[in-house]
Chain A
Amino acid sequence: MGAAAAIGQREHPVEVVDLVTHYGPRMILKGVTMDVREGEIMVVMGGSGSGKSTLLRYLLGLERATSGTIRVLGQDLGGLSHREITDLRKKMGVAFQGGALFSSMTVGENIMLPLYEHTDLDRSTMEIMARIKLEVVDLAGFEHLMPAELSGGMIKRAAFARAVIMDPRILFCDEPSAGLDPVVSSALDDLILRLRDAMGMSIVVVTHELESAFKIADRVTVLDHGRILFIGTVDELREQDNARIQNLLNRRAQPEIIDGDEYLRRLTGENMDEGTIQ
């Protein structure tokens, strides 16, 4: 049981205490304590090389800590077998730097990949799940395209669709908008907010971009050379700057009106033949 559980509070999905890590002889994280709450978007900021990606790798159980504890979804990663960590990882979605899709597979196959790896679902169920997620990321009808046929922003959105295909409890994103123009990255921010609101996920986003951080974060963690420099709400962070930041907040996409019959055919693949995609 975690400290929170012991005193009768609900445990947070992520609880990190005094995490110290090394790559070889070099200490990277130097005593990091932070948590991520249920349904929260936690933005991790900090200079290049400050340890942001490293922190994500440890939260995912990809590396063993030197000392300290990492609890994810109520489980102490230090006490889990490889197999148990693999199981736990099914509840974690990952959209990493580069957002790599496999170039030899269609977008749809890329998105269904975790389902093939981890489930015995019927093919028709997988296809509908993939189409639903493509709808969510505004890539309806793109399942038959190859990644090379998509723009950078579309690839990122497809990577998000894949990251949430198993309805994870936590989603980790490492610089999702790196290399995208401001309009495209703003759309990605909207998507992150939408996913959180509808799926109730906790989301950890590493980003360099202040504008994006202020827009999506409930709280912000700032890392500096492997140590925590600041953890707090957007409001607390915003107080450090001011008016400029106000108008960056609270922009959301409008829902569109849709034709139910047409939409249903699209999801079930019934109108593929007349398809608008080549």
Chain B
Amino acid sequence: MKHSVKEDSGSLVVGFEGDVDLQNSPQARKVLLEAVGRRQPVLVDLSSVSYIDSSGIACLVESLQAARKAGTAFALVAVSDSALRVLQLARLDTVFTIYGSLADGLAQAG
């Protein structure tokens, strides 16, 4: 898994690439919670994620809750079909704001 954090139009775009799984989700969690701590809207770009397991989903849940408490926006971008199925299994698709593309997210989050 690789990750990147960039500022774009007032939002922080956290991008992950590859697999987010048991091995590397502790790192993903750290990156996400740090981003949320900066108190800017956070967009998590999942377009280059090939697989995310439930440990990765759990990190997203924890980060979303941290963002809610801090009063900052937190949304997912480009969720793959397989990741969406995992979210739907636990009915988490109802909890996250999900944008189809980064452009959509940037337009609405800022």
Bound-complex Cα distance A200 to B54 (A): 13
What is the distance, in angstroms, from B91's C-beta to the closest C-beta of chain A? 6
Q: Is the CB of A122 within 8 A of B95?
A: no
Query: Which chain B residues lie closer than 8 Å to A268 at the CB level?
Result: 61-62, 65
Q: Which residues of A, 126-141, contact B by the 8 Å Cβ criterion?
A: 126, 128-129, 132-133, 135-136
A119 within 8 A of B: yes
Q: Which residues of B, 61-110, contact A by the 8 Å Cβ criterion?
A: 61-62, 64-65, 68, 82, 85-86, 88-92, 94-95
Query: How many of A's residues come within 8 Å of B, CB to CB?
Result: 33
Bound-complex Cα distance A83 to B101 (A): 43
The stretch from A148-156, A206-214, A257-265 touching chain B is A257-265
Query: Which chain A residues lie closer than 8 Å to B47 at the CB level?
Result: none
Residue of A whose beta carbon sits closest to that of B91: A258
A224 within 8 A of B: no
User: Interface residues, chain B, CB within 8 Å of chain A?
Assistant: 22, 25-26, 29, 53-55, 57-59, 61-62, 64-65, 68, 82, 85-86, 88-92, 94-95
User: Interface residues, chain A, CB within 8 Å of chain B?
Assistant: 118-122, 124-126, 128-129, 132-133, 135-136, 165-167, 194-195, 197-200, 255, 258, 260-261, 263-265, 267-268, 270
27 contacts between A and B (CB under 8 A): A118-B22, A119-B22, A119-B55, A121-B22, A121-B25, A125-B58, A128-B61, A129-B57, A132-B54, A132-B90, A135-B91, A136-B90, A165-B54, A167-B53, A195-B89, A197-B85, A198-B85, A198-B88, A200-B85, A260-B95, A263-B91, A263-B95, A264-B64, A264-B65, A264-B95, A265-B65, A270-B65
